[in-house]
Chain A
Amino acid sequence: MRDETAEDENWGQQFDRLPATPDERVVEARPTRTEVVEWWVERFGIDPKMFDGYTFWEKGAGKIWAFNGEVVDPIEVQGLGMRILRTRQRHWKPSTNAVQRFCRDATKNVIELSPGEATAFVAGHDQQLDWWEGDWGYLTAAHELAGEREPLGVGLYLHGELRSTVPKGRQEELVKLD
Chain B
Amino acid sequence: MNPLERYAPLVDDEAAFLEACERSLPSVVRVNTIKTTVERAREALDDEGVAYEPTDWHPGILKLENSSPGTNWPYFHGWLHGQEEVSALPAIALDPQPGERIWDTCAAPGSKTTQIAAMMDDEGVLIGNDNNLGRLSALRHNAERLGVTNLVVSNQDARNFSMKPFGERTPDKSGSFEQFDRVLVDAPCSCEGTCRKNPDVLDEWTMNHVASVAGIQKGILRRAVQVTKPGGTVVYSTCTFAPEENEAVLDFVLEREDCEIVAWDVPDGFETAPGITEWEDDEYDSSVTNARRVYPHQNDTGGFFTAKLEVNA
Asked, given contacts A11-B133, A83-B144, A148-B40, whether A72 binds B149 with beta carbons under 8 Å apart, the answer is no
Report whether B175 and A176 are in contact in the complex, using a CB–CB cutoff of 8 Å.
no
A69 to chain B, nearest CB (A): 4
B180 to chain A, nearest CB (A): 13
Q: Which residues of B contact A169 (CB under 8 A)?
A: 141
B119 to chain A, nearest CB (A): 14
Q: Which residues of A contact B143 (CB under 8 A)?
A: 79, 82
Q: By CB atoms of chain A within 10 A, which of B125, B140, B149 has the most?
A: B149
Report whether A177 and B150 are in contact in the complex, using a CB–CB cutoff of 8 Å.
no
B66 at the interface (CB under 8 A from A): no
**Size class of the contact patch on chain A:** 35 or more
Q: Which residues of A contact B43 (CB under 8 A)?
A: 146-147
A4 to chain B, nearest CB (A): 14
B312 at the interface (CB under 8 A from A): no
For window 224-271 of chain B, which residues contact chain A by CB distance below 8 Å?
A: none
B91 at the interface (CB under 8 A from A): no
CA of A84 to CA of B108, assembled, Å:
22
B176 (CB) vs chain A CBs: closest residue:
A72
Q: Which residues of B contact A97 (CB under 8 A)?
A: 144-145, 147
Report whether B145 and A176 are in contact in the complex, using a CB–CB cutoff of 8 Å.
no
Of the candidates A73, A146, A173, which one forms a contact with B47 in the assembled complex, judged by CB atoms under 8 Å apart?
A146
Asked, given contacts A69-B124, A70-B175, A79-B140, whether A150 binds B151 with beta carbons under 8 Å apart, the answer is no
A105 at the interface (CB under 8 A from B): no
Report whether B152 and A173 are in contact in the complex, using a CB–CB cutoff of 8 Å.
no
For window 64-85 of chain B, which residues contact chain A by CB distance below 8 Å?
A: 70-78
A54 to chain B, nearest CB (A): 7
Q: Which residues of A contact B74 (CB under 8 A)?
A: 145-146
Q: Which residues of A contact B151 (CB under 8 A)?
A: 79, 81
Could you tell me how many residues of chain B have their Cβ less than 8 Å away from some Cβ of chain A? Answer: 47
Report whether A6 and B150 are in contact in the complex, using a CB–CB cutoff of 8 Å.
no
Contact pattern, A 49-79, Cβ under 8 Å of B = 1, otherwise 0: 0000110000000000011111111011111
- Total CB contacts across the A-B interface at under 8 A: 118
Report whether B150 and A72 are in contact in the complex, using a CB–CB cutoff of 8 Å.
no
A139 at the interface (CB under 8 A from B): no
CA of A9 to CA of B151, assembled, Å:
17
CA of A9 to CA of B133, assembled, Å:
11
B170 at the interface (CB under 8 A from A): yes
For window 153-168 of chain B, which residues contact chain A by CB distance below 8 Å?
A: 153-155, 165-167
Report whether A100 and B149 are in contact in the complex, using a CB–CB cutoff of 8 Å.
no
For window 23-42 of chain B, which residues contact chain A by CB distance below 8 Å?
A: 34-36, 40-41
Q: By CB atoms of chain B within 10 A, which of A53, A68, A152, A176 has the most?
A: A68
Binding site for B on A (CB under 8 A): 6, 9, 11-12, 53-54, 66-73, 75-83, 97, 100-101, 122, 145-148, 150, 152, 169-170, 172-177
Besides A68-B150, A97-B145, 8 more A-B contacts (Cβ < 8 Å) are A53-B123, A67-B150, A68-B124, A70-B174, A71-B152, A75-B152, A75-B165, A174-B73
A–B Cβ pairs within 8 angstroms, 17 of them: A67-B149, A68-B122, A68-B124, A70-B175, A72-B167, A72-B173, A72-B175, A75-B165, A77-B152, A77-B154, A79-B151, A79-B152, A80-B153, A101-B34, A146-B44, A146-B74, A147-B43
Shortest Cβ-Cβ A-B pairs, 9 listed: A79-B153, A176-B71, A72-B167, A146-B43, A101-B147, A78-B153, A70-B175, A146-B44, A97-B144
